[in-house]
């Protein structure tokens, strides 16, 4: 079924807690209703300080209860918990996450959550220090142990004025997350039991115990592709370079590496049994010939470091690719994008290459969005507009599924 139709008639219960990100609930409701979903909303009293129940009731076309002592609210919260196909708590503040983890029940949202018989998702929103606090990390892990899905947070400007992790996912990303959730149960999984290797993130090449050569890759795109592949039924081995990003998807085994050599070794170990390899990592092309055992002290005006090539993972895989294996590469360029992408496609014997450009606004490293062009083994070109990286990952996986049946 088309992912854009996955929410038609689905009953979404949106829980809104007290966070500045509550204003995004209005956009989220509009998007869900546009997709054909039936939306009902419960709020915490603190959430009403950021956005009014009247606003969300008008957009959802359903009454929004606020206080547990309101007329009929006490009984209705049980019915709401049984009515929904999914309960999505967005934003989920640090306070609400903590109460959910402990099973506290001091407001209508929490009473409804404890009565919910449907899958539960939550989209955290808070300042970076709160997000990284051990108590919050423990509470999030506890919710995940209950089987709840955490929608990944974003990095950006926070309400405090700082820049870092803690931003709630954008409404478009949450809609895509819900679409993936329903697609898993609505249709047979096209990549069932396929073994897929995905490389993601940067690599680092040590200069001395303190310094290294690397790049700006965050791993967001590769992780999104890994999750989309797992949603399609694949058994994913994610070989992930040094990044703070991670995935909690149960269909993914994450193998952490640092250097290009370590990534090469891990890929080659799994490659003989892999059906598909998606090489999304930004692998360093060069590494220092000699790594200093101690920190290099400041001395001369110039420092010269001799570099040598790192193993070419894609070329090695392409040269030894079996007839039933698929190999997908990525090409991030700053100029002559199409020319370089097609050259890489041919020379490395790829079945598909994903091209994007740093010249495109909103694409490239560290953004939550991307704009890509796909070329298949015959050079057929497919262009896509700027989308969330989760939506881009869906496009890439759809193309991989087509290649499987070509």
What does the H/E/C string look like for 301-317?
CCCCCCEEECCCHHHHH
Residue written as token pair 């400041």: 298
The active-site residue out of 95, 107, 139, 215 is 215
Q: Is the dihedral of CA 354, 123, 366, 156 positive or negative?
A: positive
For the question of residue 383 being annotated catalytic, the response is no
Q: Between 24-34 and 53-60, two packed helices, what is the crossing angle to 10 degrees?
A: 10
Q: Which residues line the annotated binding site for CTP?
A: 285, 295, 311-314, 330, 344, 348
**How many C-beta atoms lie closer than 10 Å to residue 406's C-beta?**
10
Q: Tokens standing for 13?
A: 């219960």
Which residues, in sequence order, are CB contacts of 141 under 8 Å at separation 6+? none
Asked whether the bond before 91 is cis by omega within 30 degrees of 0, the reply is yes
Q: Which helix (H) or strand (E) holds 196?
A: strand 195-200
Three-class SS state of 326:
strand
Q: Which residues line the annotated binding site?
A: 285, 295, 311-314, 330, 344, 348
Residues 278, 255 contacting (CB under 8 angstroms):
no
Catalytic residues: 215
């Amino acid at each position: 079924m088309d992912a854009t139709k996955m929410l038609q008639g689905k009953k979404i219960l949106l829980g809104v807690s007290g966070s500045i990100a509550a204003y995004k609930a209005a956009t989220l409701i509009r998007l869900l209703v546009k997709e054909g979903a039936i939306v009902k909303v419960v709020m915490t009293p603190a959430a009403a300080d950021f956005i009014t129940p009247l606003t969300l009731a008008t957009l959802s076309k359903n009454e929004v209860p606020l206080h547990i002592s309101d007329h009929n609210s006490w009984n209705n919260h049980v019915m709401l918990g049984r009515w929904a196909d999914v309960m999505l708590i967005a934003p989920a503040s640090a306070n609400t996450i903590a109460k959910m983890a402990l099973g506290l029940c001091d407001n209508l949202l929490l009473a409804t959550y404890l009565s919910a018989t449907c899958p539960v998702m939550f989209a955290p929103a808070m300042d970076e220090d709160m997000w990284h606090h051990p108590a919050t990390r423990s509470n999030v892990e506890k919710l995940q142990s209950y089987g709840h899905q955490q929608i990944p947070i974003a990095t950006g400007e926070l309400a405090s004025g700082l820049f870092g992790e803690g931003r709630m996912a954008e409404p478009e990303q949450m809609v895509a997350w819900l679409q993936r959730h329903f697609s898993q149960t609505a249709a047979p999984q096209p990549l069932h039991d396929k073994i897929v290797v995905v490389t993601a993130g940067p690599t680092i090449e040590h200069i001395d115990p303190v310094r290294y050569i690397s790049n700006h890759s965050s791993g967001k795109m590769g992780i999104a592709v890994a999750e989309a592949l797992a949603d399609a039924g694949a058994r994913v081995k994610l070989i992930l370079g040094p990044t703070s990003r991670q995935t909690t998807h149960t269909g993914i085994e994450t193998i952490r590496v640092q250097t290009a050599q370590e990534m090469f070794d891990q890929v080659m170990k799994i490659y003989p049994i892999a059906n598909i390899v998606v090489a999304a990592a930004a692998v360093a092309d060069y590494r220092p010939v000699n790594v200093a055992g101690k920190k290099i002290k400041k001395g001369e005006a110039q420092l010269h470091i001799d570099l040598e090539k790192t193993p070419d993972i894609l070329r090695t895989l392409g040269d030894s690719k079996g007839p039933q294996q698929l190999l997908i590469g990525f090409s991030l360029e700053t100029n002559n994008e199409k020319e370089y992408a097609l050259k890489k496609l041919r020379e490395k014997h790829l079945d598909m290459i994903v091209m994007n450009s740093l010249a495109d606004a909103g694409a490239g490293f560290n953004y939550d969005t991307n704009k890509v062009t796909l070329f298949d083994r015959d050079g057929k070109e497919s262009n896509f507009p700027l989308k969330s990286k989760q939506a881009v990952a869906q496009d890439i996986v759809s193309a991989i599924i087509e290649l499987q049946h070509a």
